[in-house]
Amino acid sequence: MALSSTSGPADLNRELPPAERMTRLIQQIREADHAYYVLDAPILDDGAYDALLRELRALEAEYPDLANADSPTRRVPGEPVESFAKVSHLESLLSLGNCMTDEELARFFQRVGNLLGRAPEFHCEPKFDGLSIALVYHDGRLAVGATRGDGSLGEDVTANVRTIRSIPQTLRGRAPAVLQVRGEVIMDRTSFLSLNETLIAAGEAPKANPRNAAAGSLRQLDPRITASRPLRFFAYSAYSPDGLPVGSQAELIDALRDWGFPTSASNRHAPGADEVVAYVRQMETTRRDFPFDTDGVVVKVNALADQAELGVVGREPRWAIAYKYPPEEAYTTLKNVTVQVGRTGVLTPVAELEPIVVGGVLVSRATLHNAREIARKDLRIGDTVVVRRAGEVIPEIVAAVVERRPDTATIWQMPDTCPSCGAPIRQVDDEVAVRCSSPANLCRAQLAQGIEHFASRNCMNVEGLGPAVVEALLENELIHGPADLYRLTREQLLPLPRFAERSAEKLLANIAASRSADLGRVIDALGIPQVGHETAQVLASAFGSLDRLAAASEEQLNELEGIGPSVCASIRGYFDEATNRALVDNLLELGIGRAPLDGAAGASSDSGDRLAGASVVITGSLSRPRRYFEELIEKAGGRSADSVTSKVSYLVCGDAPGSKLEKARKLGIPVLSEAEFLELIGASERTTAGG
């Protein structure tokens, strides 16, 4: 489905009086949140969403007395607190009995069958591995958000909970006047990995797993920190003192969804025990495809009347059980510890392991984070160690098996010089990490890592530029930094190992195509310490171009939501360094990271060289006459050609393409759709919004 782009919906509001405009904006933002978080079918792109939020915020500043107490702008974090107040839950947050085998599960079926005198129906759900919270709504408005605590008394984290965009501040439809919703706050594995990168770059201790990251992020005294962490929420149970308007767990899940809560798409009604067992088997593999961790499934008796009849013993309901999958662990030998130098110069010890299969994957290395971690776990070279893999997360060493430690086991020590450039190592004040003291451009390892990061899939996405190629390019002095990639020629690549005509052409085409990467990717690609994917997106939408970002003062940066003072200082520090400025200037010259075009048909003058020196061929039918696109190509500084040869830079491909497409593919020439082409020349926004 096509997403609405910037300016569209907001414009409609302009003619309304302020109060109505604000109401309408709030409605539009809520609809967009609901579509994104609950329906999983976004209706607005990030730019359009931000525009609505900005307009609402401006109106609220102008007319503070009209501001709505639960406006989506209130997701803006409040002030830090000294400690969390205690809140007592409306209904105790029960825990669950566990089982790990089919026999134990069968005993659960038998138990509930005996107690009820018949076989009940069940409801099966993934067991999210996060932090359980309770949300209380009064008359459909979020009043309190609390952690589980001891089950009766939790911590009041309302201010933090309000910053989680998938948690509705106002319920949809008709919900009970007082409602307590229970669910799990989680963090996706990729977000967890980038959070850890950011933490390590800032010299802080990394989180052990996504669950700890989610819990740590929610239990922050400063809600601005919570706001900067990408947390998600899934609802799975509810309580109302007036009773719930549903008869079963399956209906409750539907109701929660109707009220505006995200619920799992993998929940299933199971008419009997066989279906439950099939679900448990299937989920064992399906769960690996989830972007977040689950540690089992939860089986619940479906009918609420049956649940009431079965009751609770101690803190565990008799009507539900958690089937836990075994953690993916294995034993192996720690053969050695090597040191990797990251792009910011941080030295990370890496465990070299006797290769072993863990959770279906062959593991031969694991990160050890830092020297303190090794000391804390008392790991020695030669030890037998427990290795664990959770989903896609990098394997970790849980512990050493001290009883099996050989006499020859040795204690590892961090070297005092950089293994790559030989410069002394320095310990930065109050950082756990140690760093190479060379600037990035003088240490080969830092440089190589920086270039690999630049080209990586989430950044400029240059396929074919892995570690070995980067190493060869540096070794042969063909590049000295990321911008040099764009000056590489076929002749330079051909003599390198692993390169032939086709692979050289292909790499050059991939590098050329990366010039159209959107600004968020470009900012991420720079590798500014403490700036990960999410922060890069925020910076891109706030500044619109690399030069504007590079010129931003720390004060301007500090005004941005979800970006803390230490990140702002790091950004400013990055652009104050001459080598970094030179890289930025180089990229801008290449047309990378510039502001998108605006103006009427055709490229405006400041964009005149996005296609400088490029020749472009068109095939198939496009949305407008070919002549129109030829003009765009020329105005962007390119040349339009008729036939596909190895000199052609891009093929723009419309419907029903001819033999040119085949030929371009053979030659490894980048093929662009009409939309990709418009994006490349910076004309995409104008076209989507206007015509």
Short-list 674, 644, 672, CA closest to 660:
644
Q: In whole angstroms, how close is the CB of 171 to ligand IVH at the nearest point?
A: 20
Alpha helices, DSSP H, located in 140-232 = 158-161, 189-201, 210-218, 223-228
Q: In whole angstroms, how close is the CB of 129 to ligand IVH at the nearest point?
A: 7
Q: In whole angstroms, how close is the CB of 69 to ligand IVH at the nearest point?
A: 30
Short-list 385, 456, 569, CA closest to 193:
456
Q: Which helix (H) or strand (E) holds 313?
A: strand 312-313
One-letter amino acid at 302 equals N
Q: In whole angstroms, how close is the CB of 317 to ligand IVH at the nearest point?
A: 5
Short-list 270, 264, 276, 271, CA closest to 236:
264
Nearer to ligand IVH, 314 or 613 (CB): 314
As a whole number of angstroms, the distance between CA 642 and CA 615 comes to 10
Q: How many Cα atoms within 13 Å fall on the side-chain side of residue 402?
A: 2
Nearer to ligand IVH, 307 or 535 (CB): 307
Angle, vertex CA 368, rays to CA 362 and CA 374, nearest 5: 130
Nearer to ligand IVH, 147 or 226 (CB): 147
Q: What is the number of other CB atoms lying within 10 angstroms of the CB of residue 498? A: 11
Q: In whole angstroms, how close is the CB of 96 to ligand IVH at the nearest point?
A: 4
Return residues touching ligand IVH (CB under 6 A). 94-96, 125, 127-128, 132, 184, 236-237, 298, 317, 320, 322
As a whole number of angstroms, the distance between CA 351 and CA 340 comes to 10
Is 666 labeled as catalytic in the residue annotation? no
- Strand 384-389 relative to strand 361-367: parallel, antiparallel, unpaired? unpaired
Q: In whole angstroms, how close is the CB of 310 to ligand IVH at the nearest point?
A: 11
Q: In whole angstroms, how close is the CB of 338 to ligand IVH at the nearest point?
A: 38
The residue whose Cβ lies closest to ligand IVH is: 132
As a whole number of angstroms, the distance between CA 568 and CA 573 comes to 8
Q: In whole angstroms, how close is the CB of 220 to ligand IVH at the nearest point?
A: 19
Nearer to ligand IVH, 256 or 633 (CB): 256
Nearer to ligand IVH, 75 or 300 (CB): 300
As a whole number of angstroms, the distance between CA 688 and CA 675 comes to 9
Nearer to ligand IVH, 294 or 640 (CB): 294
Which of left, alpha, beta for 190 (phi over 0: left; psi -120 to 50: alpha)? alpha
As a whole number of angstroms, the distance between CA 648 and CA 509 comes to 10
Nearer to ligand IVH, 309 or 463 (CB): 309
Q: In whole angstroms, how close is the CB of 75 to ligand IVH at the nearest point?
A: 24
As a whole number of angstroms, the distance between CA 485 and CA 465 comes to 10
Locate 77 and state its tokens: 């974090």
Answer for the pair 394, 366: CB distance below 8 angstroms, yes or no: yes
Backbone angles phi, psi at 68, to 5 degrees: -90, 135
As a whole number of angstroms, the distance between CA 127 and CA 297 comes to 5
Answer for the pair 330, 316: CB distance below 8 angstroms, yes or no: no
Close Cβ partners of 691 (under 8 Å, ≥ 6 residues apart):
none
Q: In whole angstroms, how close is the CB of 300 to ligand IVH at the nearest point?
A: 7
Instruction: Give the single-character DSSP code of 553.
Output: -
Q: What string of H, E and C letters represents the secondary structure of 365-387?
A: EEECCCHHHHHHHCCEECCEEEE
As a whole number of angstroms, the distance between CA 103 and CA 113 comes to 15
Instruction: Give the single-character DSSP code of 165.
Output: T
In the chain, the N- to C-terminal Cα span, in Å, equals 17
Close Cβ partners of 542 (under 8 Å, ≥ 6 residues apart):
560
As a whole number of angstroms, the distance between CA 131 and CA 231 comes to 11
Nearer to ligand IVH, 148 or 435 (CB): 148
Q: Which of 86, 127, 207, 377 is catalytic?
A: 127
Which sequence positions are flagged as catalytic?
127
